[in-house]
Amino acid sequence: MILSTDTTHLILLALLTAMALIQGWYWLVYYRRAAFVQAGNEKATGKLPPLSVIICARNEAENISRFLPAVLEQDYPSYEVVVVNDCSEDNTDDLLGEMMARYPHLRVSMIQKDPGFTHTKKLAMLIGIKAARNELLVFTDADCRPASPNWLREVASAARANTDIIIGYGGYIPEKGLLNSYIRFETMFIAMQYFGMAMAGKPYMGVGRNLAYRRSFFFGSGGFGPHNHIMSGDDDLFVNRNATSDNCSLMISHDSFTLSAAQKNIGAWIKQKRRHFSTAAYYKPDDKLRLFMEPFSRVAWYGLLITMLVMLASWPVVLLLAIARLVMRAVILRKAAATFNEPQLWFISLFFDILAPIVTAFLYLTTIRKGKGRETWK
């Protein structure tokens, strides 16, 4: 029999169908937008606006040596790079001094270590913002490099008259290993969320590895405002509090991307993820609901699917739903992998699709249970 008449089976089928519809809504309304977006071919014309790139660094000598030259050697006529050396105890200061001699547009602000005073990264960012000479501020990290020498030209192209916030994609450098693949997949999937929702008029976050906004807008909106005391959130919480469907612009071409060095061991990655999750409680209520429903429906979908297949209840209908979801997801993910320049990830994502919400739920719940903890810079 194609459709079981057992009441329990019908209830389970109704729930499975409901989860499939929720999944379809997210993938077709949000994620599809990010996957199939056409990167704009328009480039900034006329006089390019001067830019200030701000990078905060604490004990980042190795990364500065490796990545900062790619920022300093952008194909852009007028920009400065402001590095805030925040209490570094390695040879960051000496290295930056040597680089300043070679790059006249590099400027350095120093925060001296005070044993009686600890602070988060936001203080370093605020010092960098105040030190910046230009209106349009561009942010990236010390362990990050632009994917192209045209990165700043892409920022200028996205800086339209009504734009206060520019959101870009910050990916990770491909390396061997399952952890690296998972980090890159998760980063791409999260980008599908925040790009897709922004395109649907509901921007909710950006990443500090590739973010820009106007200096006057930052101070006019109260800076980091009520989130100033929180360890993280200099990027996502600032965007969540201030972004609207009218004042945001997106960068989606490959030249606009940045690439960071991914964590190489799972312990460091878990620590990084827990720091990110510590900001989730401060999102707007409707954003929290949207971000909860997709992974919840995905976990529920797989649980109900396995249950019904084991019971052999209405299995032709269940199998049809499963195939339809798989095809929809494979098509969108394949296109998204090309859009975000991660073509090798789409096939392994079939496995990660099941794993990701379980890992996310575990890390989020253990982060909440662990509580605030000791404030650290990074």
At 374 the pLDDT is 46
The whole-angstrom separation of Cα 66 and Cα 142 is 9
CB distance 174 to 344 below 8 Å:
yes
Q: Side chain identity at 243, as an amino acid letter?
A: A
Task: Identify the bridge partners of residue 83 per DSSP, sorted by sequence position.
Answer: 55, 108
Asked if pLDDT for residue 378 goes beyond 70, the answer is no
pTM assigned to the model: 0.90
The whole-angstrom separation of Cα 67 and Cα 145 is 5
Query: For the chain, first and last CA: distance in Å?
Result: 58
Could you write out the three-class secondary structure of 109-147? EEECCECCECCCHHHHHHHHHHHCCCCEEEECCCCEEEC
At 88 the pLDDT is 87
Selected residue with higher pLDDT from 377 and 131: 131
Residue-level length of the chain: 378
Percent of the chain with pLDDT over 90: 66
Asked if pLDDT for residue 45 goes beyond 70, the answer is no
Asked if pLDDT for residue 176 goes beyond 70, the answer is yes
Q: Of 113, 125, 49, 143, give the one whose Cα is nearest residue 82.
A: 125
pLDDT tens by residue, 318-354: 899 999 999 999 999 999 999 999 988 888 887 888 8
Mean pLDDT of 174-203: 95
Burial of residue 160 (number of CB atoms within 10 Å: 0-12, 13-18, 19+) = exposed
Residue 221: band (very low, low, confident or very high) from pLDDT cuts 50, 70, 90:
very high
At 108 the pLDDT is 96
CB distance 343 to 188 below 8 Å:
no
Asked if pLDDT for residue 373 goes beyond 50, the answer is no
Instruction: Give me the domains of the chain, ranges plus CATH numbers.
Output: 7-36+286-370 (no CATH), 51-281 (3.90.550.10)
Name the CA dihedral angle for 254, 260, 266, 270, rounded to a multiple of 10 degrees. Answer: -90
Residue 108 parent element (H or E): strand 106-111
Asked if pLDDT for residue 365 goes beyond 80, the answer is no
Asked if pLDDT for residue 102 goes beyond 80, the answer is yes
CB distance 151 to 255 below 8 Å:
yes
Phi, psi of 167, rounded to the nearest 5 degrees: -105, 130
Where helices occur in 252-284 by DSSP H, the ranges are 266-277
- How many CB atoms are located within 10 Å of the residue 33 CB? 17
Structure letter (DSSP) for residue 29: I
What is the chain's alpha carbon radius of gyration, rounded to the nearest angstrom? Answer: 22
Q: Of 252, 258, 308, 288, give the one whose Cα is nearest residue 368.
A: 288
Asked if pLDDT for residue 311 goes beyond 50, the answer is yes
Mean pLDDT of 347-363: 81
CB distance 304 to 15 below 8 Å:
yes
The whole-angstrom separation of Cα 312 and Cα 13 is 12
Asked if pLDDT for residue 307 goes beyond 70, the answer is yes
The whole-angstrom separation of Cα 295 and Cα 272 is 20
The mean-pLDDT minimum among 80-84, 192-196, 344-348, 364-368 falls in 364-368
